[in-house]
Chains A and B, each alone.
Chain A
Amino acid sequence: MFSYLLKRLFIFIPTLLAISLFTFIISINAPGDPVETMLNQNVGGDGSSGEKLTNEKTYQTKRHELGFDLPLFYFSFTNATFPDTLYKIPKKAHREMLQRLSYKYGKWKNVSDYYHSLQKLENKIVEIEINEESTLPLRKLKDAVNVLYTNYSEEKISTTIKNIELNILQNGLLKKNCENEFNNFINSYHHLLIDKAVANKYIPVIYWYGLNNQYHRWISKFIQGDFGISFQDKRPVSSKIGDALKWSMILSISSIIIAYFIAIPLGVKSAIDKGKPSEKLISTGLFLLYSLPNFWVATLLIQFLGGGGLNWFPTFGLGSLSEGAPFWDRFWETAYHLILPLFCLTYASFAFISRQMRGGMLDILELDYIRTAKAKGLKKRVVVWKHAFKNSLMPIITLFANIFPMAISGSFIIEIIFSIPGMGQLTLSAIYARDYPIVFTVLMFTAILTLIGNLVADILYAYIDPRISFTIKK
């Protein structure tokens, strides 16, 4: 048994690794720049030049602080057009533009020259802006440079360059100051166009980065229990998840308890009464309940029992009593708000469990030993509850494995519909805001709980049915 446990726990490792890798891949491919998301909350600014320099600096420090200036993974497997130092380019948009260019033209050195000359041009503009005052042509030039920073199509780049030549650089002052830089830029661009190596992208290369990379940093901190900070409001992920988990757990656990308490007796009863009209009615009802989509039921309840109809129940949030209110007042207020969500969460699982229970019981009731027990003249109640019940629990145990992950993610949709600040809302808003520390942690925890649930179910099987043994191989 012990060695079996160890073996199972050992299998956890590759599974968790796979899941963490998967989440990581999603997070790096997500659109948007996480550093910018995090900075945008407090850095407003009108984009004037002095601010720009400080912004650049805060961007760099923040990037370093979050570890985004490290390589992504232990190694990278790409084509020969990309250099091994690509990760050092700060902005994600720039990085993408450069990657596209070097993929297209094949020589990283030329692309890098192009980028540096563009940067020099931009620095010159900033310099002029600080020394002189900002004029309309200058601002136009700045916009054009920004266009160049994010575009990689030949057509777009050449029209922008033409635009700069014909319209903006007609201004004498501007022409005098940045003609040099601009000419350098044009030269590097032409060089890029002429000196091509298209075949380079078909040459595979592997770069080795070692342990100092983003994934390693992320996963090792996760193992140490440091889940990072949320990009949205800079609170630690663990405290945000803790708050949300409280509500999700209250909802899910009470719903699971209620469901089991009603479902098991009902399932047993309908198995015993098989064939009676009352049982047929119950079974049909259970089947219909089981097929009802819970978000539809929730919408209907809100429509008819909530605000739109009878207005019996609140349909939004958890009530507005302050922390200072007496405990029982707060308790009743919250409970009142939770009635509808709880109902929506419970009915489906309750229907499902009863059906499983009924199925399991029916199988058992047909076995010989039950017939013997009946023939012996035992009371029906004793036969059912003492002899059949324990053995019919098998299908229920499979369901029991789901309880653990259910506690986190089971009430996802219902929470969103009823605006309950639980894990559903937290995760959804985190996904929308590309707040990957939260998404990552939630996914990992749900996966861990699912694995634990499966393990617990297996152990329970062995407990209920001693014939199942983990030590002997088939």
Chain B
Amino acid sequence: MNFIKSIVFRTKVKEEKALHLSNEREEFTGKENESYWRVVKKQFQKNKIAVWSLRIVYLFIIIAILADFLANEKPIAVKYNGNIYFPIFKEYVVDLGLSKWDKELVNVSWKELNYEWKILPLIPYLPKNIDFLNTSVSPFDEQQVISKKWKHWLGTDALGHDVLAGMIHGTRIALLVGIISMGIAALIGIFFGAIAGYYGDDQLKMSISSIILYSVGFVIALFYAFGARAYVLADALGNSFGNFLLELIISILLFLGILLVFQFFSFLLKKIPFLFQPITIPVDIIISRLIEVVVSIPRLFLIISIAAVVAKPSIFMVMMIIGLTTWTGIARFTRAELLRIRNLEYIEAAKALGYKEFRIIIKHALPNALSPILISIAFGIASAILIESTLSFIGIGVPAETITWGSLLAAARQDASAWWLAIFPGFAIFITVTIYNLIGEGLTDAMNPKLKQ
């Protein structure tokens, strides 16, 4: 029976998809079997600029992953006292707590040891290393270095930090900001958007008993998960961000657990007929209002005021704040798309077949709404990187010891003649923002060929 169900359903979906495509994307459904994503991919690859942008993103990802091997004070491999070491690998292992440094290598100045042979990283500096002999040198200045290997290719700042090393390690932060903040934004945005769009104002029905139980459960869960644990969370935040994340996850699990208990109660209460009367909940109105509230607060003000209040600033905090304030765009797109999709026949078919609504939303409705979500994520990454670099530029929320492109650029404000500090980090920000915007445009063109023509 199930088997037949699924066959019927699959053909239905296929038909619907084909119909859908033929309505909107006539010119690209020449072959019947060609999937939508293959069409998109083909279209995207026609756009040379977007393809090149994507390649630059790959390059940045490689730089970000290999940052420790590209710019580091430690050598990649050395022979010292007859032994061969791999100090950078070793550091990872030590950081994970799996091993310890040899006695003779604890607290050594890696630059000054006498090696039998060594392989140095491309840039033999960390962003935090200070070169007292070369402060505020431009790339073209005479630099007091041992050999060309130790040259500061993009100059140094007023304290003697190597700019190129800072930029290489900054790539990591820039990409992380984009990924993590948009990851958070996408989770929240898709959740709210999907619920608002799928249920609209008329489809979500709940019995009075569940409404009462859920609201009581919500308050109680809030109390036990966050109220009673407030100090645990605050202390963890003071400790480290990882610790905070762990406690936060425990809190959230506790919250969901308590809600589940209340759901079980609602099962029992269903026996009472009077309380079982269903009411429609206008989720769309509620969520749209919520979005309106968040949108009408000026985002930069909002982020700056939250970031200034946080007791212990960290770059992950900034990412979280950006994510928590930028989900509205994604939610709007998802909502609009699902409002359209929920009226399509294949969703009705799925409902008629008795699938759970959760499954319909996740497996059948959302995949078809993915294109506008992807587009807004691409643009969102660009704006998240821009916001983060703006914040580090004015020195809010990002701790002073974290070196980002924005904080490197900010160093140029102190030294009016350090043109190299103004040009290189700014250019990195510009390029990154531009390529993400270009990818966004490329996706838009590829998914809505009609617009392009």
- Interface locus among A24-32, A52-60, A161-169, A170-178: A24-32
Interface pair B419/A304, CB less than 8 Å apart: yes
Q: Is B295 an interface residue (CB 8 A)?
A: yes
Query: Given that A14-B289, A291-B433, A447-B298 are known contacts, is A303 also in contact with B223, CB under 8 Å in the complex?
Result: no
Q: Is A427 an interface residue (CB 8 A)?
A: yes
Interface string of A383-411 (1 = CB under 8 A from B): 00000000000000000000001001100
Interface pair A295/B393, CB less than 8 Å apart: yes
In the complex, residue of chain B having the shortest beta-carbon distance to the beta carbon of A292: B430
Query: Given that A446-B297, A446-B301 are known contacts, is A293 also in contact with B231, CB under 8 Å in the complex?
Result: no
Q: Is B228 an interface residue (CB 8 A)?
A: yes
For residue A406, give the distance in angstroms from its CB to the closest CB of chain B. 9
Query: Given that A204-B223, A446-B298 are known contacts, is A288 also in contact with B434, CB under 8 Å in the complex?
Result: yes
Interface pair B223/A77, CB less than 8 Å apart: yes
- Interface locus among A218-226, A374-382, A412-420: A412-420
Interface pair B305/A302, CB less than 8 Å apart: no
- Interface locus among B62-70, B263-271, B306-314: B306-314
Interface string of A192-224 (1 = CB under 8 A from B): 000000000110100000000000000000000
- Interface locus among B172-180, B276-284, B410-418: B410-418
Determine the distance from Cα of A15 to Cα of B305 in the docked complex, in whole angstroms: 19
**Chain A residues whose CB sits within 8 angstroms of the CB of B300 once the complex forms:** 409, 412-413
Determine the distance from Cα of A115 to Cα of B296 in the docked complex, in whole angstroms: 45
**Chain A residues whose CB sits within 8 angstroms of the CB of B296 once the complex forms:** 15, 19, 447, 450-451, 454
- Interface locus among B16-24, B145-153, B347-355, B421-429: B421-429
Interface pair B426/A307, CB less than 8 Å apart: no
Interface pair B227/A413, CB less than 8 Å apart: no
Query: Given that A291-B434, A308-B419 are known contacts, is A22 also in contact with B227, CB under 8 Å in the complex?
Result: no
Query: Given that A22-B297, A288-B434, A405-B298 are known contacts, is A431 also in contact with B304, CB under 8 Å in the complex?
Result: yes
Determine the distance from Cα of A432 to Cα of B395 in the docked complex, in whole angstroms: 11
Looking at the complex, which one of B298, B433, B453 makes contact with A443 (CB distance below 8 Å)?
Answer: B298
Q: Is B409 an interface residue (CB 8 A)?
A: yes
Determine the distance from Cα of A18 to Cα of B295 in the docked complex, in whole angstroms: 12
Consensus secondary structure, chain A interface? helix
**Chain A residues whose CB sits within 8 angstroms of the CB of B231 once the complex forms:** 100, 103
Q: Is A459 an interface residue (CB 8 A)?
A: no
Determine the distance from Cα of A19 to Cα of B394 in the docked complex, in whole angstroms: 25
For residue A127, give the distance in angstroms from its CB to the closest CB of chain B. 36
Determine the distance from Cα of A291 to Cα of B293 in the docked complex, in whole angstroms: 28
Q: Is B37 an interface residue (CB 8 A)?
A: no
In the complex, residue of chain B having the shortest beta-carbon distance to the beta carbon of A308: B416
Looking at the complex, which one of A18, A303, A431 makes contact with B308 (CB distance below 8 Å)?
Answer: A431
For residue B329, give the distance in angstroms from its CB to the closest CB of chain A. 14
In the complex, residue of chain A having the shortest beta-carbon distance to the beta carbon of B428: A296
For residue B176, give the distance in angstroms from its CB to the closest CB of chain A. 18
Q: Is B334 an interface residue (CB 8 A)?
A: no
**Chain A residues whose CB sits within 8 angstroms of the CB of B389 once the complex forms:** 293, 295
Q: Which of A289-309 contact B (CB under 8 A)?
A: 290-293, 295-296, 299-300, 302-304, 306-309
Q: Which of B208-240 contact A (CB under 8 A)?
A: 219-220, 223-224, 227-228, 231
**Chain B residues whose CB sits within 8 angstroms of the CB of A447 once the complex forms:** 296-298
**Chain A residues whose CB sits within 8 angstroms of the CB of B427 once the complex forms:** 296
Q: Is B360 an interface residue (CB 8 A)?
A: no
Interface pair A15/B292, CB less than 8 Å apart: yes
Determine which residue in A287, A303, A439 has the highest number of CB atoms from chain B within 10 A of its CB, and name it.
A303
Consensus secondary structure, chain B interface? helix
Interface string of A448-474 (1 = CB under 8 A from B): 001100100000000000000000000
**Chain B residues whose CB sits within 8 angstroms of the CB of A204 once the complex forms:** 220, 223, 227
How many residues on the A side are at the interface (Cβ–Cβ under 8 A)? 56
Determine the distance from Cα of A412 to Cα of B394 in the docked complex, in whole angstroms: 11
**Chain B residues whose CB sits within 8 angstroms of the CB of A293 once the complex forms:** 386, 389-390, 426, 429-430, 433
Q: Is A11 an interface residue (CB 8 A)?
A: yes
**Chain A residues whose CB sits within 8 angstroms of the CB of B326 once the complex forms:** none
Interface pair B224/A296, CB less than 8 Å apart: no
Interface pair B305/A443, CB less than 8 Å apart: yes
Q: Is A442 an interface residue (CB 8 A)?
A: yes
**Chain B residues whose CB sits within 8 angstroms of the CB of A306 once the complex forms:** 416
In the complex, residue of chain A having the shortest beta-carbon distance to the beta carbon of B296: A450
Determine which residue in B227, B296, B297, B302 has the highest number of CB atoms from chain A within 10 A of its CB, and name it.
B296
Determine the distance from Cα of A439 to Cα of B302 in the docked complex, in whole angstroms: 10
Q: Is B437 an interface residue (CB 8 A)?
A: yes
Interface pair B227/A79, CB less than 8 Å apart: yes
Query: Given that A78-B227, A443-B297, A450-B296 are known contacts, is A291 also in contact with B430, CB under 8 Å in the complex?
Result: yes
Interface pair A296/B416, CB less than 8 Å apart: no
Q: Is A272 an interface residue (CB 8 A)?
A: no
**Chain B residues whose CB sits within 8 angstroms of the CB of A93 once the complex forms:** none
Interface string of A10-49 (1 = CB under 8 A from B): 0100110011001100100111000000000000000000
Determine the distance from Cα of A309 to Cα of B437 in the docked complex, in whole angstroms: 32
**Chain B residues whose CB sits within 8 angstroms of the CB of A454 once the complex forms:** 296
- 26 residue pairs from A and B, CB less than 8 Å apart: A15-B292, A18-B293, A23-B305, A77-B227, A79-B228, A202-B228, A204-B223, A287-B434, A291-B434, A293-B390, A293-B426, A295-B409, A296-B409, A296-B422, A296-B426, A296-B429, A299-B426, A308-B416, A309-B419, A409-B300, A416-B394, A431-B304, A443-B302, A443-B305, A447-B296, A454-B296
The 10 A-B pairs with the shortest beta carbon distances in the complex, nearest first, are A296-B426, A308-B416, A291-B434, A450-B296, A431-B308, A307-B416, A446-B298, A18-B293, A303-B422, A308-B417
Binding site for B on A (CB under 8 A): 11, 14-15, 18-19, 22-23, 26, 29-31, 77-79, 100, 103, 201-202, 204, 287-288, 290-293, 295-296, 299-300, 302-304, 306-309, 366, 405, 408-409, 412-413, 416-417, 427-428, 431-432, 439, 442-443, 446-447, 450-451, 454
Known: A308-B418, A450-B295. 10 other contacts (CB 8 A): A15-B293, A77-B219, A79-B223, A288-B434, A291-B382, A293-B433, A295-B393, A300-B426, A412-B301, A428-B396
